[in-house]
Structure 1
Amino acid sequence: MSGWQTIESDAGVFTHLIEELGVPDIQFEEIHTLDADALKALPQVYGVVFLFHYNQSATSNTENSSTPKDGDWDYQAAEDIFFANQTIQNACGTQAILSILLNQDINIGPTLAAFKEFTTGFPSELKGESLSNSEQIREVHNTFAKSSPFVDESTRPATSDDDAFHFVAYTVVNNKLYELDGLQRAPISHGACTKDEFPEKIISVLQKRIARYPDGEIRFNLLAVTQDKRIRARELGDEETLEAENKKREEWKFENELRKHNFVGFTIELLRGVVKDKIKTGEYDAWVKDATDKAQARIAEQQQKRRE
């Protein structure tokens, strides 16, 4: 693969991605409700990654605005913490992840530690260019892209008809709640915040952001970056949780392997076998007629619903 490929907003994808980058003892957990208790129930939370439909009128700011719609620009923080401008398509998921990990006092492994050291002191634009040009990080990122025999979306320009989605990171650094979005000019501060206060304050920030979208918009996804839940389970001797988490890891591993494979050829061969068997047994014509009748019935039902 060349360039940066699109990856899914998925806890299993992100967890195994950072493991491949050498980050230990961290996992991602999908949050299904905007409820602070959902975050409080997790072991130590380092931040959240928020995926949303990119609606210019609902984003934190426009290119020419003097202030964000929520919070305040913190230009000094752009120099003091890891903040990178996004300089390439499809990298925003991994960039949001790094915006959290590289701003926490945790073991991020040798690959990311070397990258952080290399970019320390760089302006945000150059940090973004350094990330875009990191072959090691890009190669790991791309191993989690879905295999497809069709159009490579990264090779064509975006159009106004495309549904654009974007990832941003929220995390606490130096007792402030920051929104770290590579498309913005600087980190956005949402005020003083301790790590203990983070669950309550981040939910409030996200609720305000989502409220700017039209009614019925549901294309959001929230992932918490948290300590590996198996660590606390081992400390507490909670065998049930440990078993459940190990099983979840196995499921994630299986799903990630499936993402890497192209099943179109297999499906075509399977269909050929079915057709050949139907012809051999004399059931082909009846099989096709039955399928056609069912398709027409579904179309008629849909048309009726539209009229109603």
Structure 2
Amino acid sequence: MSGGWNTIESDAGVFTYLIEKLGVKDIQFEELTTLEVSELQALGTIYGVIFLFKYPSGEKRSDTPKDGTYDHEAANTLFFPAQTIQNACGTQAIVSLLLNREGEVEIGKELKEFKEFAGDFPPELRGETLSNSDLIRETHNSFARSSPFIDETTRAATEDDDVFHFIAYTSINNKLYELDGLQPAPILHGDCTPTDFPSKIIPVLQRRIARYPETEIRFNLMACVRDLRIRAREIGDEDGLELQEDKRARWLWENSLRRHNFVGFISELLKGVVKAKLDEGNGAYDKWIEEAKARTKKQREKT
């Protein structure tokens, strides 16, 4: 049996390098900060969006979705895997989006073979196959943040946990679909050509967010787009190209930091600080502790 799936962050750099590691070419993710059609249109060629939201605890599956309609026929004709394992929804949403846009997107040899193998399965078996794919799981886990304290694959969720969920929206066969592995089928939101996608998806997202209290702001939206460096080269935008290359370098650095556990480093650093104070002698260590206590007390009084 395959190992567990760790939690990954909703981060454009994580998602971009994750799909590159899976063999996808000339695609990247961009975080969106507004629900403006113009912001999406400014990104050029868009293949879909990944939406992260707090999953309502205790919500029961209904015969009809709160928005749109279930397309049960599409559950079998599209690549729609049911989600069968915890923590896999981020990568599952990405894979579902990309495999349904094959032909426009170069998904690479490994994902192409995976789609050919699992494509004719029913949604539940597709989900099991995805969850048990060593390649996809290991690639997913390689972008999980290192933690020495919690093993997300074994910790049971509690009622106090905030559970977040990823889903994908994309235009397939000139229809706007919501791909959510926790639902019984893709949700159809009407006609939508790839060109119309920016103007059609924004109202759908606005209606979804409106179902939450006004105080709930924990949403994240990322667009799956054609590599912005390609467009910059095509139009001779040297400043734009440099900006994108700098962004890639920053993402690479941030991803490398996610893989490291810094507890040992911090422990050694603190040992060195304490040793330095002890070496000073003459009560320097005791004075240092008292000064720290005084600063803490002063800070508490301010608050």
Q: Mark yes or no: TM-score above 0.5.
A: yes
| Residues 290-299 or 93-102, more deviating | 290-299
Counterpart CA distance in 2 for 1:77 and 1:298 is 59
- 1:154 aligned counterpart, secondary structure: coil
Q: Deviations over 1:109-151 (max 9, x none)?
A: 0010001111121111011001001011111111001111112
Letter in 2 for 1:149: P
Q: Is 1:94 equivalent to 2:91 in the alignment?
A: yes
Which letter maps to 1:298? Q
The one-letter code matched in structure 2 to 1:238 is: D
The answer to whether structure 1 residue 55 and structure 2 residue 56 are counterparts is yes
User: 1:91-130 counterparts in 2 under 5 A?
Assistant: 91-104=88-101, 105=103, 106-130=105-129
Match of 1:80 among 74, 77, 81: 77
**1:253-277 per-position Cα deviation (integer Å, ceiling 9, x unaligned):** 1110110011000000001101111
Q: CA RMSD in A?
A: 1.3
Q: Which residue of 1 aligns with 2:174?
A: 175
CA distance in 2, matches of 1:68, 1:157: 28
d(CA) in 1 for partners of 2:98, 2:193:
17
Question: What's 2:197 paired with?
Answer: 198
Paired residues in the alignment total 298
Aligned to 1:15: 16
Q: What pairs with 1:128-139 in structure 2 (closer than 5 Å)?
A: 128-139=127-138
Q: How does 1:1-308 map to 2 (within 5 A)?
A: 2-56=3-57, 62-63=60-61, 65-104=62-101, 105=103, 106-282=105-281, 283-302=284-303
TM-score by length of 2: 0.95
Distance 1:184 1:173 in 2: 18
Q: In 2, Cα distance between the equivalents of 1:268 and 1:40?
A: 48
- The 3-state SS of whatever aligns with 1:157 is coil
- After superposing on structure 2, the runs of 4+ consecutive aligned residues of structure 1 that deviate more than 3 Å are none
Tell me the alpha carbon deviations over residues 67-91 of structure 1, each in whole angstroms, 9 at most, x when there is no partner.
Answer: 1100000011111111010000010
Taking structure 1 as the reference length, the TM-score comes to: 0.94
Which whole-Å CA distance do the structure 1 matches of 2:156 and 2:42 have between them?
42
Post-superposition Cα deviations, 1:194-244, rounded to whole Å, max 9, x if no partner, equal 111111111111111111111211110001000000011111111111111
Counterparts of 2:257 and 2:193, CA distance in 1: 40
3-state SS, counterpart of residue 70 of structure 1: coil
**Aligned-partner Cα distance in 2 for 1:56–1:178:** 24
Listed as ranges, the gaps of 5+ residues in structure 2 are: none
Aligned amino acid, residue 171 of structure 2:
V
Structure 1 gap ranges (5+): 303-308
1:159 Cα offset (Å):
1.1
Following the alignment from structure 2 to structure 1, what is the Cα–Cα distance between the partners of residues 98 and 42? 20
CA distance in 2, matches of 1:46, 1:165: 23
Distance in 2, Cα, partners of 1:153 & 1:300: 37
Tell me, in whole angstroms, the C-alpha distance in 1 between the residues paired with 2:295 and 2:170. Answer: 52
Displacement of 1:56: 4.1
The residue type paired with residue 160 of structure 1 is E
CA–CA distance in structure 2, aligned partners of residues 237 and 128 of structure 1: 43
**Identity of aligned pairs, percent?**
61
The aligned residue for residue 305 of structure 1 is: none
Q: Deviations over 1:167-186 (max 9, x none)?
A: 00000001111000000000
User: Letter of the aligned partner of 1:257 in structure 2?
Assistant: S
